[in-house]
Structure 1
Amino acid sequence: MLALAGIVLAIAAFVLPPVAQPQAYHGFADSRGWLGIPNFGDVTSNLAFLLVGLLGLSALRLPGVQAMGKINVHAYGLTFAGLALTAFGSAYYHWAPSDARLVWDRLPMTLVFMPLLAATLAERLRWRSDVPLLGLSLLGVACVVYWNITGNLLPYFVAQGGSILLLLLAVALLPTPWSGRSRLFAVLGVYLVAFACEQGDKLVFQASGGSISGHTIKHLVAALAFYVLLRMLRRQQPVDG
């Protein structure tokens, strides 16, 4: 089922009509600057990604995490490294939003959700090599490069949404040797809240009386989602004892 879903997603990415980047996307609700930083809220809220990313990388040294084996540690490590890099890429983009800068926002994001999918599969399928992790990560990066060259954003959307779908299928269908993996549903649930805040950027800004925007909240809530992931790793135990 996982293989079939992956094939269908790959075909859909290049068969469906192309999707262009809407230029209205760059018009965020909160454009206020402070301390010489333009778009202060959307720029500085990325510090949450950096904090959780660094905490996640430090947690990889814990004995309970190291016990997963190097393939799993590498996958989760790349996930948290990608999250830390997203802080810089997203801040760079929000400083002066444009298509050219958005590339550097989305590139590290692919190194978050694709390695997370790889981590989920690696522990269930007992991968013995980093090659699948490398392949999935490069595939995510390639989708951003493809958009930058062709203007077609669809493969990136399919890669992002498809990784979440495949992750859910893996959690639902495949057994894992580690406890607490149901928290991945909480991770995705919190991330969906972040996505809703992003979509309601201007509405949230208006409802808050112009104090904070939906996109700023999106950064904070998305970082919280990965903090839930971090707590899952810190508390995990082998299922068989």
Structure 2
Amino acid sequence: MTKNQLIALYVISTAAIAACFFMPPIAQDQAYHRFADAHSWASVPNFWNVISNLPFAIIGILGMTRLRAIDYSLKASYIWFFVGICCTGFGSGYYHWHPTDATLIWDRLPMTVSFMAFLSIVIGEFIDADAGKKLLYPLLLLGLSSIATWVLTDDLRMYALIQFLPIFLILIVLFLSKKEIRYKKYFWLMVVCYTMAKFLEGYDAYIYVVSREWMGGHALKHLAAAAAPFFFYKFVGRKFNPERP
């Protein structure tokens, strides 16, 4: 992709943000907190929805450990990505222990950090490393602003945009970029994992019934979503240590 195409991404993003203000406010639906599987086990409420967040914490810690010896222009973006993933493990677990709007903040906040860091990584890897590096903190600030807007106004418009616009931009970049083609498979696998996670989330109750009330789709969503940073972890190992399996 060229610098002109990078400008096109800026234009698309600006237009999407502006369009958000013409949409009606989106309040947090309280039904969101009612998951199909509410079973407790070993004194842990909503057991599977809580414990299925453990892979996030493990992968985040492994990722940060792997980055210690790496000197790279996008290292800060990588670190923030894995920090967000690690904190998602604890934040989402905390939320599912007692699902409310107040605890949901700690689920969404670290996920937003990872989303924004990942967008800066994709821009840096497949368009321009300097641009990805410079965009990291503005993107993180934008993500945090979306959380603050929701908390202060009970309006999810900006948060919804932060959830879905990066995916749209990432798809554009992956389709059009001719850089680092040998590593694209890891990023495509991450997109597949995210798509599968959203599918499982949408069929939470149906999966719970089909599994004979053993596990709902939301816990499986966590496992599918955690596979995405695992593939990024594998990408980091392959990029900086080609001999690593």
Give the TM-score taking structure 2 as reference length: 0.89
Contact 1:178/1:237, CA 8 A, preserved across alignment: no
Contact 1:179-1:237 at 8 Å conserved across structures: no
- 2:221 is aligned to 218
Give distance in 2, aligned partners of 1:185 and 1:113: 15
CA–CA separation in structure 1 for the residues paired with 2:118 and 2:219? 23
Q: Which residue of 2 aligns with 1:31?
A: 38
| Deviation at residue 120 of structure 1 after TM alignment | 1.1
SS at match of 1:236: helix
Question: Is 1:126 aligned to residue 129 of structure 2?
Answer: yes
Q: Does 1:187 align with 2:190?
A: yes
Matched positions, count = 233
Tell me the SS of whatever aligns to 2:155. coil
The CA deviation at 1:5 is 1.1
In 1: Cα distance, 2:112 partner to 2:178 partner: 26
- The alignment status of 1:49 with 2:56, answered yes or no, reads yes
Residue identity matched to 1:208: S
Contact 2:84 2:111 in 1 (8 A): yes
SS of the aligned residue for 1:15 comes to coil
Question: Does the CA contact (< 8 Å) of 1:54 and 1:84 recur in 2?
Answer: yes
Structure 2 equivalent of residue 203 of structure 1: 206
Contact kept in structure 2, 1:181 and 1:232, CA below 8 Å: no
User: 1:159-174 to 2 correspondence within 5 Å?
Assistant: 159-174=162-177
Deviation at residue 175 of structure 1 after TM alignment: 3.8
Q: Give yes or no for the alignment of 1:10 onto 2:13.
A: no
Is residue 19 from structure 1 mapped to residue 26 from structure 2 by the alignment? yes
1:235 aligns with 2:242: no
Deviation per CA, 1:12-52, whole angstroms, max 9, x where unpaired?
22221111111111000111111111111111111011011
Spell out structure 1 runs of 4+ moving beyond 4 A: 128-131
Determine which of 103, 117, 130 is the counterpart of 1:115: 117
Secondary structure in structure 1 of the residue aligned to 2:213? coil
Match of 2:94 among 92, 95, 110: 92
SS of equivalent residue, structure 1 residue 35: coil
What secondary structure, in the 3-state scheme, does the structure 2 residue paired with 1:56 have? Answer: helix
Q: Sequence identity, in percent?
A: 35
Structure 1's 152 and 192: CA in aligned 2 closer, same or farther, altered over 3 A?
Answer: same
Q: Is 1:76–1:119's contact at 8 Å kept on the other side of the alignment?
A: yes
- Whole-Å separation in 1 of the counterparts to 2:140 and 2:10: 17
With the length of structure 1 as denominator, give the TM-score of the two structures: 0.91
Take 1:32 and 1:119, find their aligned partners in 2: how far apart are those partners? 38
Q: Deviations over 1:32-83 (max 9, x none)?
A: 1111111111111110110111121122235xxx35x23x111011101100
Judge conservation of contact 1:205–1:212 (CA < 8 Å) in 2: yes
Q: Which runs of 5+ in 1 are unaligned?
A: none
| 2:142 aligned partner | 139
- CA contact 2:120–2:132 (8 Å) conserved in 1: no
